[in-house]
Amino acid sequence: MLQSANPQSSTIDRPIVLVGLMGVGKSTVGRRLAARLRLPFVDADQAIEEAAGMTIADIFERYGEAQFRDGERRVIARLMDGRPKVIATGGGAFINDATRALILAEATAIWLDAPTRVLAERVRRRDTRPLLRGKDAHDVLIDLAKIRNPIYALAPIHVASQQAPHEATVTAILKALGR
Protein backbone atom coordinates (compact mmCIF):
# COMPACT_ATOMS: atom_id res chain seq x y z
CA MET A 1 0.00 0.00 0.00
CA LEU A 2 1.19 3.49 -0.71
CA GLN A 3 0.76 6.15 1.93
CA SER A 4 1.19 9.83 1.38
CA ALA A 5 0.71 13.03 3.29
CA ASN A 6 0.83 14.74 -0.07
CA PRO A 7 1.35 13.29 -3.55
CA GLN A 8 4.94 14.53 -3.74
CA SER A 9 6.13 12.71 -0.63
CA SER A 10 4.51 9.27 -0.83
CA THR A 11 6.31 6.48 0.95
CA ILE A 12 6.21 2.83 0.15
CA ASP A 13 5.36 0.78 3.21
CA ARG A 14 5.13 -2.74 1.76
CA PRO A 15 6.73 -4.90 -0.92
CA ILE A 16 6.11 -4.24 -4.60
CA VAL A 17 5.73 -7.55 -6.44
CA LEU A 18 6.07 -7.80 -10.21
CA VAL A 19 4.03 -10.55 -11.90
CA GLY A 20 3.56 -11.56 -15.53
CA LEU A 21 4.60 -14.01 -18.21
CA MET A 22 8.18 -15.09 -18.74
CA GLY A 23 10.20 -12.61 -20.77
CA VAL A 24 8.17 -9.56 -19.79
CA GLY A 25 11.14 -8.09 -17.92
CA LYS A 26 10.19 -8.59 -14.29
CA SER A 27 13.81 -9.09 -13.17
CA THR A 28 15.42 -6.41 -15.31
CA VAL A 29 12.70 -3.84 -14.72
CA GLY A 30 12.52 -4.83 -11.05
CA ARG A 31 16.22 -4.11 -10.50
CA ARG A 32 15.88 -0.70 -12.12
CA LEU A 33 12.66 0.10 -10.27
CA ALA A 34 14.27 -0.82 -6.95
CA ALA A 35 17.26 1.42 -7.74
CA ARG A 36 14.99 4.35 -8.62
CA LEU A 37 12.97 3.85 -5.42
CA ARG A 38 16.12 3.20 -3.34
CA LEU A 39 14.70 -0.14 -2.20
CA PRO A 40 16.23 -3.62 -2.04
CA PHE A 41 15.57 -5.91 -5.01
CA VAL A 42 14.94 -9.66 -4.78
CA ASP A 43 14.57 -12.03 -7.70
CA ALA A 44 12.35 -14.84 -6.36
CA ASP A 45 13.78 -17.32 -8.88
CA GLN A 46 17.31 -16.65 -7.61
CA ALA A 47 16.10 -17.00 -4.02
CA ILE A 48 14.51 -20.35 -4.92
CA GLU A 49 17.74 -21.56 -6.53
CA GLU A 50 19.74 -20.49 -3.49
CA ALA A 51 17.32 -22.21 -1.10
CA ALA A 52 17.28 -25.43 -3.15
CA GLY A 53 20.96 -25.44 -4.05
CA MET A 54 20.07 -26.16 -7.69
CA THR A 55 18.74 -24.41 -10.77
CA ILE A 56 15.05 -24.07 -11.47
CA ALA A 57 15.51 -26.26 -14.55
CA ASP A 58 17.06 -28.96 -12.34
CA ILE A 59 14.23 -28.67 -9.80
CA PHE A 60 11.65 -29.10 -12.59
CA GLU A 61 13.54 -32.06 -14.05
CA ARG A 62 14.14 -33.82 -10.75
CA TYR A 63 10.94 -33.05 -8.82
CA GLY A 64 8.38 -31.76 -11.35
CA GLU A 65 6.43 -28.55 -11.59
CA ALA A 66 4.09 -29.23 -8.63
CA GLN A 67 7.03 -29.64 -6.24
CA PHE A 68 8.70 -26.54 -7.68
CA ARG A 69 5.53 -24.47 -7.19
CA ASP A 70 5.32 -25.58 -3.55
CA GLY A 71 8.91 -24.48 -2.93
CA GLU A 72 8.28 -21.25 -4.82
CA ARG A 73 5.27 -20.51 -2.59
CA ARG A 74 7.33 -21.07 0.56
CA VAL A 75 10.20 -18.86 -0.63
CA ILE A 76 7.87 -16.02 -1.65
CA ALA A 77 6.10 -16.28 1.72
CA ARG A 78 9.52 -15.85 3.39
CA LEU A 79 10.33 -12.85 1.16
CA MET A 80 7.03 -11.20 2.08
CA ASP A 81 8.33 -9.99 5.43
CA GLY A 82 6.49 -6.67 5.38
CA ARG A 83 9.58 -4.62 4.56
CA PRO A 84 9.47 -2.41 1.46
CA LYS A 85 11.36 -3.97 -1.44
CA VAL A 86 10.83 -4.89 -5.06
CA ILE A 87 10.30 -8.60 -5.75
CA ALA A 88 10.35 -10.12 -9.24
CA THR A 89 8.45 -13.41 -9.32
CA GLY A 90 8.58 -16.28 -11.77
CA GLY A 91 5.82 -16.38 -14.39
CA GLY A 92 3.79 -19.04 -12.58
CA ALA A 93 4.04 -17.74 -9.02
CA PHE A 94 0.91 -15.56 -9.12
CA ILE A 95 -1.09 -18.44 -10.60
CA ASN A 96 -0.83 -20.39 -7.33
CA ASP A 97 -3.89 -19.51 -5.22
CA ALA A 98 -2.03 -19.32 -1.91
CA THR A 99 0.87 -17.32 -3.33
CA ARG A 100 -1.49 -14.91 -5.10
CA ALA A 101 -3.58 -14.41 -1.93
CA LEU A 102 -0.43 -13.62 0.04
CA ILE A 103 0.85 -11.16 -2.56
CA LEU A 104 -2.52 -9.40 -2.86
CA ALA A 105 -2.87 -9.16 0.93
CA GLU A 106 0.66 -8.06 1.81
CA ALA A 107 2.13 -6.31 -1.23
CA THR A 108 1.40 -4.04 -4.14
CA ALA A 109 1.12 -6.37 -7.13
CA ILE A 110 1.98 -5.01 -10.56
CA TRP A 111 1.21 -6.99 -13.71
CA LEU A 112 3.77 -6.37 -16.42
CA ASP A 113 2.26 -7.30 -19.77
CA ALA A 114 3.52 -7.50 -23.35
CA PRO A 115 2.35 -9.08 -26.60
CA THR A 116 3.26 -12.78 -26.90
CA ARG A 117 5.25 -12.19 -30.09
CA VAL A 118 7.50 -9.75 -28.18
CA LEU A 119 7.85 -12.18 -25.28
CA ALA A 120 8.70 -15.07 -27.62
CA GLU A 121 11.43 -12.96 -29.22
CA ARG A 122 12.87 -12.17 -25.77
CA VAL A 123 12.78 -15.70 -24.32
CA ARG A 124 14.36 -17.34 -27.36
CA ARG A 125 17.62 -15.67 -26.28
CA ARG A 126 17.97 -17.98 -23.24
CA ASP A 127 17.60 -21.76 -23.06
CA THR A 128 16.96 -21.97 -19.32
CA ARG A 129 13.16 -21.97 -19.16
CA PRO A 130 11.76 -25.44 -18.35
CA LEU A 131 8.30 -24.79 -19.80
CA LEU A 132 9.85 -24.02 -23.19
CA ARG A 133 12.23 -26.97 -23.55
CA GLY A 134 11.77 -28.53 -27.00
CA LYS A 135 8.72 -26.40 -27.81
CA ASP A 136 7.92 -23.35 -29.91
CA ALA A 137 8.15 -20.36 -27.54
CA HIS A 138 5.39 -18.38 -29.25
CA ASP A 139 2.92 -21.30 -29.13
CA VAL A 140 3.67 -21.94 -25.45
CA LEU A 141 3.30 -18.25 -24.59
CA ILE A 142 -0.03 -17.98 -26.42
CA ASP A 143 -1.34 -20.96 -24.43
CA LEU A 144 0.04 -19.59 -21.15
CA ALA A 145 -1.41 -16.13 -21.81
CA LYS A 146 -4.90 -17.58 -22.34
CA ILE A 147 -4.74 -19.25 -18.94
CA ARG A 148 -2.66 -16.78 -16.94
CA ASN A 149 -3.60 -13.31 -18.17
CA PRO A 150 -7.06 -13.38 -16.52
CA ILE A 151 -5.30 -14.26 -13.24
CA TYR A 152 -2.55 -11.64 -13.68
CA ALA A 153 -5.38 -9.14 -14.25
CA LEU A 154 -6.25 -9.54 -10.55
CA ALA A 155 -3.17 -7.44 -9.77
CA PRO A 156 -4.38 -3.91 -8.96
CA ILE A 157 -1.81 -2.25 -11.24
CA HIS A 158 -1.34 -3.17 -14.92
CA VAL A 159 1.61 -1.79 -16.88
CA ALA A 160 2.50 -2.59 -20.48
CA SER A 161 6.13 -3.59 -20.87
CA GLN A 162 7.42 -1.37 -23.64
CA GLN A 163 9.41 -2.53 -26.64
CA ALA A 164 11.69 0.34 -25.69
CA PRO A 165 14.44 0.80 -23.13
CA HIS A 166 13.49 -0.74 -19.77
CA GLU A 167 13.54 2.73 -18.25
CA ALA A 168 10.29 3.47 -20.12
CA THR A 169 8.58 0.61 -18.27
CA VAL A 170 10.11 1.74 -14.96
CA THR A 171 8.80 5.25 -15.57
CA ALA A 172 5.33 3.85 -16.36
CA ILE A 173 5.35 1.88 -13.09
CA LEU A 174 6.44 4.94 -11.10
CA LYS A 175 3.61 6.92 -12.68
CA ALA A 176 1.12 4.15 -11.81
CA LEU A 177 2.42 4.25 -8.24
CA GLY A 178 1.88 8.02 -8.14
CA ARG A 179 5.61 8.81 -7.97
Number of domains in the chain: 1
- Inside any domain, residue 5: no
Which residues contribute to the annotated binding site for substrate? 45, 69, 91, 148
The 3-state secondary structure of the chain, one letter per residue:
CEECCCHHHCEECCCEEEECCCCCCHHHHHHHHHHHHCCCEEEHHHHHHHHHCCCHHHHHHHHCHHHHHHHHHHHHHHHCCCCCCEEECCCCHHHCHHHHHHHHHHCEEEEEECCHHHHHHHHCCCCCCHHHCCCCHHHHHHHHHHHHHHHHCCCCEEEECCCCCHHHHHHHHHHHCCC
Which residues carry a binding-site annotation for ATP?
A: 23-28, 129
Q: Tell me, what amino acid is at 8?
A: Q
Query: How much is the pLDDT for 130?
Result: 59
Would 113 be classed as within a structural domain? yes
Model-wide pTM > 0.85: yes
In a domain, 6, yes or no: no
Rg (CA), the chain: 16
Is beta strand 108-113 parallel, antiparallel or unpaired with respect to 86-88? unpaired
The span from the CA of 111 to the CA of 38, in Å, is 21
pLDDT beneath 70, residues of the chain = 1-10, 125-134, 162
Question: Is residue 72 situated within a structural domain?
Answer: yes
CATH of the domain at 108: 3.40.50.300
Check residue 4 and give its pLDDT: 32
Q: How far apart are CA 162 and CA 112, in angstroms?
A: 10
Residue 7 is assigned to a structural domain of this protein: no
Q: Which residues are documented as binding site? A: 23-28, 45, 69, 91, 129, 148
pLDDT value, residue 162 = 66
Enclosing domain of residue 17: 13-176
What angle is formed at CA 33 by the lines to CA 70 and CA 146, rounded to 5 degrees? 50
Residues 147, 57: contact at Cβ < 8 Å?
Answer: no
Bind-site residues for Mg(2+): 27
Q: Does any domain span residue 4?
A: no
The model's pLDDT over 27-79, given as tens digits with 9 standing for 90+, comes to 999 999 999 999 999 999 999 999 999 998 899 889 998 889 899 999 999 99
Residue 110 located in a structural domain: yes
The answer to whether residue 111 sits within a structural domain is yes
